[in-house]
Amino acid sequence: MAKNSILATALANFDRAAAMLEEQVDAELLDKIRRPRERIEITLGPQLGDKKIRTFRAFIVRHSEALGPAKGGIRMTPGVTPEDVTGLAMEMTWKCALVGVPFGGGKSGIVADAAELDKFDKETLVRSFARNAHRHIGPQVYVPAPDMGTNERDMGHIKDTISFSMGQATTQGCYVTGKPVILGGIPGRREATGNGVVICVEEAFKSLGMEMRGATAVVQGFGNVGAIAARSLHELDARIIAASDLYGAVANEKGLDIDALTEHVGKTGSVKDFAGGSAVDGQKMLEMPCDVLVPAASANQITAENAPRISAKIIAEGANGPTSPKADEILNERDVYMIPDILCNAGGVFVSYLEFTQETQQEQMTEQEVATRLRQRMTEKFRQVHELTHERKISMRDAAMYLGVSTVCSAMVARGYLS
């Protein structure tokens, strides 16, 4: 396992929480939840548009079901590994527990480059995943959602494929969240993670006595989470002074025009060559002085190497695992205000839970209801973590992990030790 892998980071974060719980929880129980409950590898062999059969690896990990069915997105990237998926599933376990939804932690990975596949081939691959993974997916087992490289459209195809496999026009209960509203999705799910990140940022600003108007922000990753977070910060009159994606980074001290940038990304697929800013180095961009840095791309972007040079006052982890444990220590010593991933990006899974209940109860929530409930829950959880941070003089990450892990342990004790 590489030193700074997603799994290594997840385990390091867990071990610190476990040490805090040593006197309250049996060592055997902590040892048990340090490991995933189930890891599945599937080989997909769809015939793509060129009529050739291509082989793809896919993984599903159910880390814990102490609180309910496993919940977690499907990552489609060329480099995703079973270890990554295990680490991400583990983080989902604590995130669901922390944000107070009755789900366990899960995650899927499909080893493919989503950007390289045309619409038809992507649909073929996603449908192949749904057919082959069908028996591992369901409202009582594992409920996927979008993650890097997958989106609303893919979730619609998963629901449709599973319905057809069952010989039905639809599914009973929620098999997948983050799907189009017309197929039982919920308004505001696509925006929920990015908006949740910004609700946390607003709370952090309040606790530091800072003003949002005119504040500066740098956003890494201009996909689902990053683009929505950028828009939401922009609507609060913050200035987005730089943004990046896999292909490039742009900066403008006066603030990027988010409407124009979104249009440019819609047309070209990247922030690269945006005329409203100048090109900068994506890694150097992370070190730009700013009020808030939102890493919303891949894991392990803030490391021991660049952490000493990070000049943001606040880091709001939109991505999962963007900060290595060593970098975390450095930033903590430097008093950088860190909003940890399991809190900061939990808005997505919270709204997924609303979608799950909406589908079970067969009633449609409005966008306004979703936004109100998201704000209430994120604010409540932020304050709970913040309070514990001050009470126990620990980091926000340790406080969030403590709350998440202890909740899962309580559920395991309540269930008993038979499985």
Residue 223 lies near ligand NAD (rule: CB under 6 A): yes
Give yes or no: 71 in active site. no
Residue 60 within binding range of ligand NAD, rule CB under 6 A: no
Query: Across the strands, what pairs with 43?
Result: 57
- 9 is a site residue for ligand NAD (CB under 6 A): no
Residue for token digits 């993984």? 59
Residue 83 binding ligand NAD, by CB under 6 A: no
Sole residue written with tokens 């080893």: 111
Active-site entry in 107, 122, 179, 313: 107
Nearest CB to ligand NAD, comparing residues 327 and 412 = 327
- Cβ distance to ligand NAD smaller for residue 86 or 220: 220
User: H-type helices in 323-395, by residue range?
Assistant: 325-333, 341-344, 347-361, 367-392
Nearest CB to ligand NAD, comparing residues 30 and 243: 243
Q: Which residue is nearest to ligand NAD (CB)?
A: 223
Parallel, antiparallel, or unpaired for β 104-111 and 216-220?
Answer: unpaired
Q: DSSP per residue over 48-95, as a string?
A: -TTS-B--EEEEEEEEE-SSSSEE--EEEETT--HHHHHHHHHHHHHH
The number of helix segments (H) and strand segments (E) in the chain equals: 14, 13
- Of 65 and 147, the one with the shorter C-beta distance to ligand NAD is 147
Show the binding pattern over residues 313-352: x = contacts ligand NAD (CB under 6 A), - = does not: -----xxx------------------------x--x----
For residues 350 and 197, give the distance between their C-alpha atoms in angstroms, rounded to a whole number: 12
Q: Do residues 93 and 68 make contact, with C-beta atoms less than 8 angstroms apart?
A: no
The verdict on 200 binding ligand NAD (CB under 6 A) reads no
Q: Binding ligand NAD by CB under 6 A: which of 82, 105, 106, 146?
A: 146
CB of 29 to ligand NAD, least distance (A): 27
Which lies closer to ligand NAD via its Cβ, residue 112 or residue 297?
297
- Can you name the residues that pair with 38 across neighbouring β-strands? 62
**What are the beta bridge partners of residue 280?**
249
At position 56, the amino acid (one-letter code) is: F
Q: At residue 316, what is the residue type?
A: A
Stretch of 22-30, 96-104, 147-155, 330-338 contacting ligand NAD, by CB under 6 A: 147-155
Stretch that binds ligand NAD, among 3-11, 18-26, 97-105, 296-304 (CB under 6 A): 296-304
User: Exactly one of 87, 106, 221, 255 binds ligand NAD (CB under 6 A); which one?
Assistant: 221
Among 18, 148, 233, 243, which residue interacts with ligand NAD (rule: CB under 6 A)? 148
State yes or no: residue 220 binds ligand NAD (CB under 6 A): yes
Beta-carbon count within 10 A of 397 CB:
25
- Answer for which of 82, 277, 282, 340 binds ligand NAD (CB under 6 A) is 282
245 lines the binding site for ligand NAD (CB under 6 A): yes
What's the longest Cα–Cα distance across the chain?
62
Judged by CB under 6 A, does residue 144 bind ligand NAD?
no
Angle between helices 396-415 and 367-392 (to 10 degrees): 100
Class of residue 180 by CB neighbours under 10 A (exposed 0-12, middle 13-18, buried 19+) = middle
Out of 69, 72, 144, 149, the only residue in the binding site for ligand NAD (CB under 6 A) is 149
Q: Which stretch binds ligand NAD (CB under 6 A): 117-125, 159-167, 215-223, 384-392?
A: 215-223
Question: Interacting stretch for ligand NAD, rule CB under 6 A, among 32-40, 199-207, 220-228, 303-311?
Answer: 220-228
Q: How far is the CB of 61 from ligand NAD (least distance, A)?
A: 14
Say if residue 84 is exposed, middle or buried (CB neighbours under 10 Å; 0-12, 13-18, 19+).
buried
Kindly state whether residue 193 participates in binding ligand NAD, applying the rule CB under 6 A: yes
| Beta-bridge partners for 138 | 142
Q: Could you give the 3-state DSSP secondary structure of residue 171? A: coil
One-letter amino acid identity for 350? F
- Cα–Cα dist 163/136, whole Å: 14
Near ligand NAD in 350-389, by CB under 6 A: none
Q: How far apart are CB 240 and ligand NAD at their closest, in Å?
A: 14
User: Which residues are tagged catalytic?
Assistant: 107
Residues in contact with ligand NAD by CB under 6 A are: 146-149, 193, 220-226, 244-246, 282, 296-298, 318-320, 345, 348
